[in-house]
A and B are shown apart, each in its own frame.
Chain A
Amino acid sequence: MTTKKKRTPNTERSGWVVIAPDSVTDKNKHGSDPVFLRLRNPSTDGASLYLLGSGDERLYEVKAFEEEFHSWFVGEAVQRDGRLVFVTPMDPLFLILPYLMKSGREGKFQPVDQVVKDEDFPGCSRLLSCSCSFLHIAEEKEVGGLKFHRYSQEKTMNWLKKKVERTAAALKTKNVSVGEGVKSTTYIRIKSESEGREEDYLRYAHGLISEYISEELSKALLKHLGLPELTSPKEAEPPAKKRKLSDKPVEAGEDYTKFNSADFARKPPKKMTAAQKTLAKVDKSGMKSMTSFFSPKSK
């Protein structure tokens, strides 16, 4: 460490702390350097950051661990954001799928390089140099040495189903807790229940895969998996606070209460005050009951 005076002035550093597989910078083969690309996120339809490994051979997604009150000490410097960027391999088909689906509505066989085009994200054509097979999501025709493809819902569903099943298997081996439970902001739940149900794993895996496909596909996939859609308990009408079983006053079995209850029954209906009478006359049709404002919103 040097004294304060010798230290270099405070400059804004634009470094990141990244964890990436070695394959990203694998330069054995000819080709370009790895590059960060902004591409259309199939789930949100907005821009997301991806990374193409050297030679455009493999696709990686970029995610960041971010939590408040974190900073890095990097060598002899402090980095203000305590962000940890993860670069992880990703199947490029997820990004290609929306383009194929869109052109599939026309029902024609087309060459993929004509389909995977995006004015907003011109980089998307580079996805086609990644090694992946369109046969998982499309039918193929070959005419005169040229290949033409057409989106297939059936194939896609089967492909996605396999993804879900594989993910579920991975969740089991990694001991990820998939059950419903109280959410805690400070702890990651680890496997608490000893026997996680098969459906819980599938549903959790479906949720994870849904992060990479459109909402519409996610719903179709849920059906394909044979999982009923969850009806959120929030939407159900809450039960009334007090349930009346009968209009009769509640009686205890003991004898002496009989006397009281008889007394009770004989009571004439309560007289209403003038104010209560006027209130009773008000037209209440179409007005919500007071309690409805305190129950969860029904859609």
Chain B
Amino acid sequence: MDLGPFEADNTVSCRLSSQIPDICRTEDCCLGIDEAGRGPVLGPMVYGICFCPVSKKQELKDLKVADSKTLTEEERERLFHNLDEAKSYVGWALHVLSPNTISTSMLQRTKYNLNALSHDTAIGLIQYALDSGVQLKEIYVDTVGPAEKYEEKLSQRFPGIEVTVRPKADSLFPVVSAASICAKVARDRVVKGWKFAEDLGDVDADYGSGYPNDPKTKAWLLKYLDPVFGYPQFVRFSWSTAQTLLDSKAVTVHWDDDEEDGEKAAKRLNNKSMLSFFSASARSDDQSRQTHRFFTDRRLRGLSSL
């Protein structure tokens, strides 16, 4: 697996893929989708697809691919090697969502949540397989959110393909297990060799699993918190773990789409109370002259001191 394209610029997302086996272009195929790194506060989330001819399902099963969570890192590497050996009939593709992409998607003005991001990434990978000429007939997906809704969404998007969305699909269907191994292996390698875009000097690479409840991860997050910039792009800013630390330890930053409670916003915008329109003394016309709109339109005002 060549991670070069992602490591060249890990601030954006990237697609990695194997060669498409010739047999997949001619025979009906099944495809499995799974992801790795959904929960961690550190590093990318990796989406993987794996596909093979329906007729080769048994052979895939014989490779003894199983749910990646039940395997050790060495076993996963070994199984990925086996999959690579079977490239005459097994193909895979990965979409690496950089932590920066996740942060900026979830924190942008019109929020793009992780489920929507996951669904769109999965759809993108299926489309990639179709565009590459893979004769897809069956799709197996481990669910994100409610299974029925997701299944309906995918069935509508890809008419003519039988879509099966199941929780725990990675332990039920070998093709999903294979996808989960590809995704997991890619994530492990990316996280292990993370190249920081920031100049941090000698970075302490002992950040643990990256999951919010890992004490090592927490310690690392505390150590690398910059009061102004917050974190390196390796950290998902949209995670509440990161946000809580930023709120308490870093400098406060205000954005113009920050939510304010009603009274505070009203005061800032100089809104009048409803009652003021009914009182007798509402006659207080502004005594000072109004600044000309040339200046107010341009947010320019005179100064009395610097």
* Chain A, range 1-54, C-beta contacts under 8 Å to B: 1, 3-4, 10, 16, 36, 38, 41, 43-44, 46-49
In contact, A85 and B294 (Cβ under 8 angstroms): no
In contact, B294 and A44 (Cβ under 8 angstroms): no
Q: Which residues of A contact B292 (CB under 8 A)?
A: 207-208, 210-211
The yes or no answer to B272 lying at the interface (CB within 8 A) is no
Q: Which residues of A contact B277 (CB under 8 A)?
A: 293
Chain A CB within 10 Å — which of B225, B288, B293, B302 has the most? B302
Q: State in angstroms the CA–CA spacing of A61 and B295 once bound together.
A: 14
Nearest CB of chain A from residue B204's CB, rounded to whole Å: 11
Closest to A176 in B: B294
Q: Which residues of B contact A43 (CB under 8 A)?
A: 289
Q: Which residues of B contact A176 (CB under 8 A)?
A: 294
The yes or no answer to B2 lying at the interface (CB within 8 A) is no
Q: Mark B192-223, 1 if CB is under 8 A from A, else 0.
A: 00000011110000000000000000000000
The yes or no answer to A297 lying at the interface (CB within 8 A) is yes
Query: Tally of A-B residue pairs with Cβ under 8 A?
Result: 78
Q: State in angstroms the CA–CA spacing of A92 and B186 once bound together.
A: 70
| Interface residues in A, total, Cβ within 8 A | 39
The yes or no answer to A67 lying at the interface (CB within 8 A) is yes
Q: Which residues of A contact B256 (CB under 8 A)?
A: 68-69
In contact, B302 and A297 (Cβ under 8 angstroms): no
Of A67, A78, A211, the residue contacting B228 (CB under 8 A) is A78
Closest to B289 in A: A215
Q: State in angstroms the CA–CA spacing of A65 and B200 once bound together.
A: 35
A86-B304 contact, Cβ under 8 Å, with A44-B289, A78-B228, A208-B292: no
Nearest CB of chain B from residue A284's CB, rounded to whole Å: 18
Q: Mark A66-84, 1 if CB is under 8 A from B, else 0.
A: 1111000000001000000
Q: State in angstroms the CA–CA spacing of A86 and B295 once bound together.
A: 12
In contact, B294 and A64 (Cβ under 8 angstroms): no
In contact, A63 and B306 (Cβ under 8 angstroms): no
Q: Which residues of A contact B199 (CB under 8 A)?
A: 1
Closest to B304 in A: A47
Nearest CB of chain A from residue B258's CB, rounded to whole Å: 8
Nearest CB of chain A from residue B68's CB, rounded to whole Å: 36
Q: State in angstroms the CA–CA spacing of A38 and B305 once bound together.
A: 8
Chain B CB within 10 Å — which of A1, A38, A86 has the most? A1
The yes or no answer to A126 lying at the interface (CB within 8 A) is no
In contact, A299 and B285 (Cβ under 8 angstroms): yes
Closest to A6 in B: B201
The yes or no answer to B62 lying at the interface (CB within 8 A) is no
Q: State in angstroms the CA–CA spacing of A91 and B225 once bound together.
A: 52
The yes or no answer to B301 lying at the interface (CB within 8 A) is yes
In contact, B300 and A297 (Cβ under 8 angstroms): no
In contact, A4 and B294 (Cβ under 8 angstroms): no
* Chain A, range 181-205, C-beta contacts under 8 Å to B: 183, 188-189, 204
In contact, A4 and B227 (Cβ under 8 angstroms): yes
Nearest CB of chain B from residue A180's CB, rounded to whole Å: 10
A64-B303 contact, Cβ under 8 Å, with A1-B199, A3-B200, A297-B283: yes
A63-B228 contact, Cβ under 8 Å, with A49-B305, A69-B256, A293-B278: no
> DSSP class of A's interface residues: helix, strand, loop or mixed?
mixed
Q: Which residues of A contact B302 (CB under 8 A)?
A: 41, 48-49, 61-64
Q: Mark B259-303, 1 if CB is under 8 A from A, else 0.
A: 000000000000000000110001101001101111101111111
In contact, B278 and A207 (Cβ under 8 angstroms): no
A1-B301 contact, Cβ under 8 Å, with A211-B295, A215-B289: no
In contact, B293 and A183 (Cβ under 8 angstroms): yes
The yes or no answer to B254 lying at the interface (CB within 8 A) is yes
Chain B CB within 10 Å — which of A16, A36, A189, A207 has the most? A207
Of B200, B289, B297, B303, the residue contacting A62 (CB under 8 A) is B303
Of A85, A188, A204, the residue contacting B303 (CB under 8 A) is A85
A211-B291 contact, Cβ under 8 Å, with A3-B200, A69-B256, A189-B297: yes
Q: Which residues of B contact A86 (CB under 8 A)?
A: 300
In contact, B304 and A69 (Cβ under 8 angstroms): no
Nearest CB of chain A from residue B149's CB, rounded to whole Å: 37
In contact, B304 and A65 (Cβ under 8 angstroms): no
Closest to B300 in A: A63
In contact, B293 and A69 (Cβ under 8 angstroms): no
In contact, B300 and A36 (Cβ under 8 angstroms): no
Nearest CB of chain B from residue A208's CB, rounded to whole Å: 5
In contact, B299 and A49 (Cβ under 8 angstroms): no
Nearest CB of chain B from residue A217's CB, rounded to whole Å: 12
A-B contact list, 14 entries, CB within 8 Å: A3-B200, A4-B225, A4-B226, A38-B304, A44-B288, A44-B289, A63-B301, A63-B303, A65-B299, A66-B299, A66-B301, A208-B292, A215-B289, A297-B283
Q: Which B residues form the contact surface with A (CB < 8 A)? A: 198-201, 225-228, 254-256, 277-278, 282-283, 285, 288-289, 291-295, 297-306
Q: Which A residues form the contact surface with B (CB < 8 A)? A: 1, 3-4, 10, 16, 36, 38, 41, 43-44, 46-49, 61-69, 78, 85-86, 176, 183, 188-189, 204, 207-208, 210-211, 215, 293, 297, 299
Query: Besides A78-B228, A210-B292, A297-B283, 19 other CB < 8 A contacts?
Result: A4-B225, A36-B306, A44-B288, A46-B304, A47-B304, A62-B302, A62-B303, A62-B306, A64-B300, A64-B301, A64-B302, A64-B303, A65-B300, A66-B299, A67-B299, A86-B300, A183-B293, A204-B294, A293-B277
